Structure 1
Amino acid sequence: MRLLSALQVEFIYSLLQRGAPGLPSTLFIALQNLLLMKCSSHSSSYGTMPYLCGRAIASPPKMLPFRVPFNAKSDPLKLDLYPRLGLLHSLQCGNTKIEVPLQSSRKKQRSYAFVIRGDHPQNADLPRYYSKKEKKPFPVPIVELRRAARERIKNSKGKPRRPIPPPKNGLLVKSLIPVAYDVFNARIKLINNLKKLLKVVHVHACSWCNEIHVGPTGHPFRSCRGPNSSIRKGLHDWTTATVEDIFLPIEAYHLYDRLGKRIPHEERFAIPRIPALVELCIQAGVDIPEFPTKRRRKPIIRIGKSEFVDADESELPEPVPEAPEKLILTEIPDSEIIGPSSEDETILLAEETLRAWEQMRRGANKLMKLYYVRVCGYCPEVHVGPSGHKAQNCGAHKHQQRNGQHGWQAAVLDDLIPPRYVWHVPDVNGPPLLRELRSFYGQAPAVVEMCMQAGAAVPDEYKATMRLDVGIPNSLKEAEMVV
């Protein structure tokens, strides 16, 4: 593997300056990116070269592997130039690698495969849509779980039994109590800021399905799956969205004792339901007077696999009520919401909202690693606790065969905090989205899209699905010319 030499750079630069007549567009862009990365990584006499052949060059995009077939007969580049330039095998330039294997065949046409690899992908696949008739996949396959269980049993033979760590023994994980308060406050801050952003950012919701769109007007895509969608030919009926449409209120049963008995079907209406993220924070150490919970000061005593008794705490001194570790925020009523008055204030509000969104998701992910969160594999029902409840209120596909019982499995972060992906609008003040160019547009969580349209910078982790590095054609005729 070798880098581009000075002779190769001179040849590519002279080729691009002449306009490269007849050269395939994909090969033209690849040569431009190679030359730009060569000049940016090594100081040379060519400078930065912002424009080549009248085409503006930005930072080299991060592209995925692709294949470019073209006829060697009609290509103005002679095949004997490839061995002379060293392009027959591969090229390495920084973190990017281009391989050009020559595939000979009996036909006259030859296929040249260009494989460009980068550390960060240029675009990523959009999140898959799961039909209501499908069961959610397990985060960890059952085969892997059984293999890990057999390995644990094998390694524990002949060794003394270790004490059960918290939170399985009934105690709290002290290092996660501040994290629980941060997640709780970040959730409240996110809701309050979204109410303010709705005063300046337009968000639309379909009145027939659960799809939303962030932008001046609703998108024209025929993707409605609601009632009578066939009559409307899949078009959406857009109305004004609310905070609940952007940040879904996933609810769960509040448990007084998270290690107690499972909730039976007969008591499903006697137990209050609160947001699942709030219930997770309460079980992790947040004290809310409206929702009391049992706090143990000694580990439980296990009798069997699912049986235990509480330790005697009569010898311990009476617990002294302590002040909360952090101040708990409260939601602002809708009547008292005041939107930002200036553009600078809107940008600061968007950046603060994006930080609250990231802090809430990072903290919730830390809590879910130790505190159990269950989700039904057939419906969006979430339960915070070691085992799911017994309420037979699942109405998903073929629930009659399960007698309405939920199929509990381990939850992931998107089950607890659904991101609600929406179509990314490249230019808010530009032309609206076109139905014919749907494959060129990306997607982003609704909160991220709102903050970006309000002026906040986009985090790197969302740039792949938003497809910011993908050029969007101006018309359908130009889109048909894309290789």
Structure 2
Amino acid sequence: MEVAPPLSSIHHRLMRNSGCNHQRNAAPASVVAISSSYKSRGFRISFPTNTDSLKSCFSGAGALGSLKHYRWRFSIPSTSSVSSDKSYPQYVVTIRNDHPQNADFPRSYSRKEKKPFKVPIIELRRAARERLKKRKDQPRRPVSPPKNGLVIKSLIPLAYDVFNARITLINNLKELLKVVPVHACGWCDEIHVGPVGHPFKSCKGPNSSMRKGLHEWTNATVEDILPPVEAYHLYDRLGKRISHDERFSIPRIPAVVELCIQAGVEISDLPTKRRRKSIIRIGKKEFVDADESELPDPVPEAPIIPLLTELPDSQIQAPSDDEEKLLLAEETLQAWEKMRRGAKRLMRMYPVRVCGYCPEVHVGPTGHKAQNCGAHKHQQRNGQHGWQSAVLDDLIPPRFVWHVPNADGPPLKRELRSFYGKAPVVVEICVQAGANVPEQYKPTMRLDVGIPSDVREAEMVV
């Protein structure tokens, strides 16, 4: 439908109802599509090139770019309505800012705030009631692995792949750190990938007020990129819970390694109990092991997939040329995705617990009893952890950092902070080394946002 003659009338009425004063003959610069609920017709509205008029229009509602969902009701005259002097049909303009390239950053929770549950409590209670209704007057079904003490054989190769992907990721990051500059703050846990550290005043470490929130950058290590999340190694994952007195006698290993061991990975230095028959349940929390004397003696088998080992720092060599660096970055990105994707599948069958107040992680059906929680108001809980189901980011923290659009260009500016995006530190390192950006990380990296050249240009953005 062509609305060229009444377009200026629509434009004038639209701005007049919004409290804007502008010239009626201003040239159109941008167009917003309108969804009509009247006879399913579509229209187009042109805005003037004068940005001051747009600023005055949205001065009460905030900048247009910051609005996610904004409705604007106005009327459109037609030839029949004007000639018959009837009321104009009503239309609703819905301006949406849901472009997939511009997603919100992941929320960072305060140390004084409890983590949200993986599934809300109301949903858990509702699901429990449904299970009780279905189980009523029904014969008890046999328990499936891994709840019966056996290992899920179909997930054993996946556990080996996750273990080797973690080792590959660590070895490749050691090589990339020699060619990609990564900085870590000496007072807090923030890191930055780029030639120089970012200038944002976001340090919350000791004496940060004396430094006015500025960071003191040092060279980062692999432990800064992949935070060590450790858990207790369980010889029997269905055995008794670890008491407070046993907290120093049981070894602690990386939580991802413990998850792989419980899923079937055999490591000689970390033995674990493997059952060949299902357990016999006596009560809800009591069971006995089945008699395995009739079975033949177990024969030690070679691992399905050879296990990799971490390389010492003395054997790490930097990539010789750009092509080798690009291949190394692609391999590192694939190892990162393979580890996270495989660990997520393992967590669906092998439960992982996390404390709702601190980063403590426990791989097993129930958390340990060690009273070593030092989070906010731990005195009221006597140092006990508040165990709940863990998510993937609890087991493998991604650690989002600021995305540098051009590593060879100018450094980030403090005044243009709202225009920059974020990405996991491993992804940012690989991207700056030449790898392609994965699709799932593009929404938070804001690759389609035009970054102004100076502060004056940023103030003109609507």
TM-score by length of 2: 0.83
1:199 is the counterpart of 2:178: yes
Residue pair 1:388, 1:408 contacting (<8 A) in 2 also:
yes
Structural mapping, 1:312-391, within 5 Å:
312-391=291-370
1:471 corresponds to = 450
**1:22 offset after TM fit, Å?**
3.6
- Give the aligned partner of residue 187 of structure 2: 208
In structure 2, the CA distance between the partners of 1:430 and 1:209, relative to structure 1 (3 Å rule), is same
Deviations 1:249-291 (A, max 9, x none): 1000000000000001111110000000000000000000000
Paired residue secondary structure (1:338): coil
Q: C-alpha distance in 2, partners of 1:429/1:157?
A: 67
Q: Is the 8 A contact 1:423 1:441 kept in 2?
A: yes
- What percentage of aligned pairs have identical amino acids? 71
1:260 aligns with 2:239: yes
Shift of residue 158, structure 1, vs aligned partner: 1.4
C-alpha distance after superposition, 1:444-468 (max 9, x if no partner): 0000000000000011110001111
Are 1:133 and 2:107 an aligned pair?
no
What amino acid sits opposite 1:189 in the alignment? T
Distance in 2 (alpha carbons) for counterparts of 1:258 and 1:8 = 72
CA–CA distance in 2 between the matches of 1:122 and 1:381?
A: 33
Equivalent residue for 2:219, pick from 222, 230, 240: 240
Q: Distance in 2 between matches of 1:337 and 1:205?
A: 21
Kindly state the Cα deviation for residue 115 of structure 1 after the two structures are TM-superposed: 2.9
**Cα gap change, 1:102 to 1:325, in 2 (>3 Å):** same
Runs of 4+ in 1 over 2 A off after TM superposition: 20-25, 63-70, 78-83, 100-103, 113-118
2:69 and 2:97 in contact (8 A); partners too: no
- Cα separation, 1, equivalents of 2:78 and 2:188: 58
Structure-2 residue corresponding to 1:287: 266
Query: What pairs up with 1:139-178 in 2 under 5 angstroms?
Result: 139-178=118-157
- Find the partner of 1:421 among 400, 405, 410: 400
- Report how far residue 21 of structure 1 moved: 8.2
Residue 229 of structure 1 corresponds to which residue in structure 2? 208
Taking structure 1 as reference, are residues 313 and 221 closer, same or farther at Cα in structure 2, changes over 3 Å only?
same
Quickly say closer, same or farther: Cα 1:150–1:114, change in 2 above 3 A. closer
Q: 1:234 to 1:164 in 2, by over 3 A?
A: same
Deviation at 1:313, TM superposition (A): 0.2
Q: Secondary structure at the match of 2:346?
A: helix
Q: Secondary structure at the match of 2:172?
A: helix
* Structure 1 SS opposite 2:204: coil
| Matches for 1:9-158 after TM superposition, within 5 Å | 22-23=26-27, 27-28=30-31, 65=68, 67=70, 102=91, 113-116=93-96, 121-158=100-137
Letter in 2 for 1:360: M
2:438 paired residue number: 459
The answer to whether structure 1 residue 431 and structure 2 residue 410 are counterparts is yes
Q: Could you tell me which residue of structure 2 aligns to residue 16 of structure 1?
A: none
SS in 1 for 2:401: strand
State the secondary structure of the residue aligned to 2:300.
coil
Closer, same or farther in 2 for the Cα pair 1:81/1:195, shift >3 Å?
A: farther
The question of whether the paired residues in 2 share the 8 Å contact of 1:64 and 1:121 is answered with no
In structure 2, the CA distance between the partners of 1:342 and 1:218, relative to structure 1 (3 Å rule), is same
Distance 2:451 2:78 in 1: 33
For 2:252, the equivalent position in structure 1 comes to 273
CA distance in 2, matches of 1:218, 1:371: 40
Change (3 A) 1:272 1:372: same
Matched position secondary structure for 2:378 = coil
Q: Which residue of 1 aligns with 2:46?
A: none
Name the aligned partner's letter for residue 240 of structure 2.
Answer: K
The AA in structure 2 aligned to 1:346 is K
1:408 aligned partner, one-letter code: W
> Over aligned residue pairs, what C-alpha RMSD do you find?
2.8
Q: Which amino acid aligns with 1:334?
A: D
CA change 1:66–1:409 in 2 (3 A) is: closer
1:257 maps to a residue whose letter is D
**How far 1:469 moved relative to its partner?**
1.2
Q: 1:238 to 1:320 in 2, by over 3 A?
A: same
* Cα distance in 1 for residues equivalent to 2:384 and 2:76: 67
Change (3 A) 1:432 1:80: farther
Q: Cα–Cα, structure 1 residues 137 and 258, in superposed 2: closer, same or farther, change >3 Å?
A: same
Aligned residues: 408
Q: Is the 8 A contact 1:65 1:114 kept in 2?
A: no
Give, as a single letter, the amino acid of the residue that structure 2 aligns with 1:212: I
Distance 1:136 1:419 in 2: 17
Q: Which residue of 1 aligns with 2:377?
A: 398
Note the C-alpha offset of 1:122. Answer: 2.5
Q: Which letter maps to 1:463?
A: K
